[in-house]
Amino acid sequence: MDCSKYKRVMLKLSGEALAGENGYGIDFQVAKNIAKEIKKIVDMGVQVGAVVGGGNIWRGRNGADMDRTTADYMGMLATCINAMALQDSLENLGVNTRVQTAIEMREVAEPFIRRRAMRHLEKNRVVIFAAGTGNPYFSTDTTAALRAAEIEAEVILLAKKVDGVYDKDPHKYNDAKKYKKLNYIEVLDKGLQVMDSTATTLCMDNDIPILVFGLDNPQNIVKAVLGEEIGTLVSKG
């Protein structure tokens, strides 16, 4: 059997990753394809924590005329919808999962309790962390960094629409150059769009490497845990 480079990972999926071509809402075929890849790494013995964004449904900044905190709470609720969709897709494949939310909704999911999350991971259940950090003015990238530190994940697998980190937007510029490796300070200094700066700083302070790769090919999740050279690795260098 293929051997994973990591024992425990934090997988961050943007909300858009679940939207597929539509760019909005949830495409269940796409969710199923992602779930199949997650199942492969679970079957390899990798313990998986996952954070899903909410951008396919709502982002705080969409509510320009709204009270910011209200708009952000709406975004956090959107992540719960996505987490439940991912949970359903995984359970359809026979993968054991738990959703833990940072805002209590006990009828729907468990509240986030770190020790309980650790126990689930040890039992090879995929733990999906929903409702962000539970605080407005944060992002799900910061949630992934925070929960990764809390569960002692060895790496954040940051699955994006773009297949790595570029010096400029590869959709706009043909000569955009992809980085293979970067350190945190370079990301912050160059203002590279990897994660928001709060999330990057949290990873830097806790020495958590971030592997940024494209989800255009869902098999990249398996390649990432096998340590194949894909995407861009952000670390202390």
Which residues are part of a known binding site for UMP?
Answer: 54, 72, 133-140
3-state secondary structure 55-103: CCCCCHHHCCCCCHHHHHHHHHHHHHHHHHHHHHHHHHCCCCEEEEECC
Based on the shown chain and the rule CB under 6 A, indicate whether residue 15 belongs to the binding site for ligand UDP: yes
**Measured distance CA(187)–CA(141) in Å, rounded:** 15
Q: Are 132 and 71 in contact (CB under 8 A)?
A: no
**For residue 207, what are the CA distances in angstroms to 56, 155, 165, 234, 237?**
30, 9, 19, 10, 10
Between residue 198 and residue 237, which ones bind ligand UDP under the rule CB under 6 A? none
* Residue 83 CA neighbour count, 13 Å, CB half: 30
Q: Which of 53, 164, 218, 231 binds ligand UDP (CB under 6 A)?
A: 53
Judged by CB under 6 A, does residue 31 bind ligand UDP? no
Q: How far apart are CA 13 and CA 175, in angstroms?
A: 27
Q: Return d(Cα 125, Cα 117) in angstroms, integer.
A: 9
Count of residues of this chain found to bind ligand UDP when the rule CB under 6 A is applied: 22
- Say whether residue 4 binds ligand UDP (CB under 6 A): no
String of contacts with ligand UDP for each residue 153-192, x by CB under 6 A:
----------------------------------------
Task: Give helix 140-151 / helix 114-122 axis angle, nearest 10°.
Answer: 70
Told to check if 143 binds ligand UDP by CB under 6 A, we report yes
Pick the closer one to ligand UDP by CB: 139 or 220.
Answer: 139
Pairing between β-strand 97-101 and β-strand 126-130 as defined by DSSP bridges? parallel
Report the residue number, 132 or 218, with the smaller CB distance to ligand UDP: 132
* Residue in 25, 111, 136, 170 binding ligand UDP, rule: CB under 6 A: 136
Among 49, 60, 164, 209, binds ligand UDP (CB under 6 A): 60
| List 4, 101, 139, 220, residue binding ligand UDP (CB under 6 A) | 139
55 lines the binding site for ligand UDP (CB under 6 A): yes
Residues binding ligand UDP (CB under 6 A): 14-16, 53-55, 59-60, 72, 75-76, 78-79, 132-133, 135-136, 138-141, 143
